[in-house]
Amino acid sequence: MANDDQKKPKVRNLRADLSKLDEPKDGKDDKPGKGDKPGKDAKLAKDSKPAKDSSDPKSSKESKDSDDSKSSKNGKKDDAKVAAPLPKQLQPTVDAAPIETKLGSFDLDDPVLPEWVSDAAFASGGYPYDKSMKSDKYEEELTALQIELVKLQHHVIEKGLRVVMVFEGRDAAGKGGAIFALRQYLNPRNARDVALPKPSDTERGQWYFQRYVEKLPTAGEIVTFDRSWYNRAGVETVMGFCTPEERKVFLEQAPLLEAGLINAGTILFKFWLDIGQEMQLKRFHERRHNPLKIWKLSPMDYAALGKWKDYSKARDSMLEETHTDKSPWIVALANDKRRARLNIIRHVLGKIDYPGRDKDVVREPDPLILGTGPRFLKKN
């Protein structure tokens, strides 16, 4: 029987293999935690042609030119990374239909990510930066801000405040990661995250807002909503789960509900995390082929793949109708998750006055990343 020392390298290698799926390429994507360096190349695509004689300069140049331009109809080079197959029990039970975009075709189930997706992802949607924030700088700033969040929670508990933070955005926009970064070191007895499943038969017969109102905070609590009552204006509208009349009623009632909460003393934040289409495709692909993230991908995500324009239309009308002076939408450009998280936390810390705030840490949010309402979104 092998001893423990012989087994450890296998565990480390497995983790290293899985981490390759998360690592940024040329600083154009990120994930929570440290580590900006790209991993080593994964397996080369099969069926590569024999190399030409390198002693012939012309032959060598022709070979290089051929390799640089050689790609499939989906824009995949022969040296593209191939994701390892998922364990059988984690394989999706449905196939994703290929979609066509202005840059090319995309098949979520194909283990090779098209090169055009990888190349265009970070800049998609008009993102203002060329590279993701370095991990060391991110970790340093995040730690300082999380200390401030602990101070803020102490104040919330001491003064009996009620704080609600709504996180909305497209699938794979980074809502869960932003909430995790914000709540990581808060006392869970006074900080809850709400992520409701689809409504039950009983809930369908209730006032639409009822199941969300039941989750609102009591005195001394901070509650985050990973998706919220705005499901009605987004996914329910696009997927046909509500009628046009139900959506109209929702858009009329939501600002009134929020104004009532604020007038009663609740501190309400509404965040919309926005990403470009190619970034969404890249993150979907990572989820589909990573055994540690496959749980994040649902049949609803598969159905949403080909409805980018429909979701854009629903988002735009929702922001226009429910952005008010009393309850504004804060838009965070989230192609770089790190920048989005830091600026969301800064916004929260800057809007609630609490003792001992470190002004050097709680600076103004980056105006290129965080803005107010639909105008900011249109500008980008």
pLDDT tens for each residue of 93-115: 888 899 999 999 999 999 999 99
Is 174 inside a domain boundary? yes
Pair (203, 335) in one structural domain:
yes
Tokens representing residue 237 in the block = 């509208």
Instruction: Indicate whether 67 and 179 sit together in one domain.
Output: no
Domain coverage including residue 274: 135-379
Question: Which segments of the chain does DSSP mark as H helices, in order?
Answer: 4-19, 57-69, 115-121, 135-159, 175-183, 201-204, 210-213, 235-238, 244-263, 277-288, 299-304, 308-322, 337-351, 373-379
pLDDT digits (tens, 9 = 90+) for 119-144: 999 999 999 999 999 999 999 999 99
pLDDT tens-place string over residues 38-73: 433 333 333 443 444 444 444 443 443 434 333 444
**pLDDT value for 369:** 98
Looking at the structure, do residues 205 and 58 belong to the same domain, yes or no?
Answer: no
Distance (Å, rounded) from C-alpha 369 to C-alpha 132? Answer: 12
CATH number of the domain enclosing 213: 3.40.50.300
- What's the confidence (pLDDT) of residue 327? 98
Q: Is residue 41 part of a domain?
A: no
- Answer whether residue 275 shows pLDDT above 70: yes
Asked whether residue 163 carries a pLDDT value surpassing 50, the answer given is: yes
The least confident of 63-77, 219-233, 242-256, 337-351 is 63-77
Same domain, 157 and 278: yes
Cross-strand bridge partners of residue 166: 225, 270
The residue written with tokens 């970790």 in the block is 139
Average pLDDT in the 229-250 region? 97
| 3-state secondary structure at position 130 | coil
Does residue 200 carry a pLDDT above 50? yes
Whether residue 208 sits in one domain with residue 285: yes
Distance from C-alpha of 62 to C-alpha of 369, rounded to nearest angstrom: 44
Residue 156 lies in a domain: yes
Count other Cβ atoms within 10 Å, centred on residue 177: 18
DSSP-derived secondary structure letter, 233: T
Average pLDDT over residues 270-285: 98
Residue 239 lies in a domain: yes
DSSP readout, 279-306?
HHHHHHHHHHT-TTTGGG--HHHHHHTT
Tell me the per-residue pLDDT of 164-176, one tens digit each, with 9 for 90 and over: 999 999 999 999 9
Q: Is the pTM of this model over 0.85?
A: no
For residues 161 and 307, membership in a common domain is answered with yes
Question: How much is the average pLDDT of 145-149?
Answer: 98
Whole-number pLDDT of residue 378: 87
Lookup: tokens for 189: 């007895």
- Measured distance CA(25)–CA(20) in Å, rounded: 10
What tens digit of pLDDT does each residue of 292-330 get?
Answer: 999 999 888 888 899 999 999 999 999 999 999 999 999
- Check whether residue 295 and residue 156 sit in a common domain: yes
Average pLDDT over residues 31-37: 42
- What total of structural domains would you count in the chain? 2
H/E stretch holding 185 reads: none
Which token pair is 300? Answer: 């609803």
Residues 62 and 183 grouped into a single domain: no
In a domain, 371, yes or no: yes
- Are 68 and 202 in a shared domain? no
Residue 87 covered by a domain: no
Q: Is residue 247 part of a domain?
A: yes
Indicate whether 186 belongs to any domain. yes
Q: How far is CA 255 from CA 163, 315, 379, in A?
A: 17, 16, 24
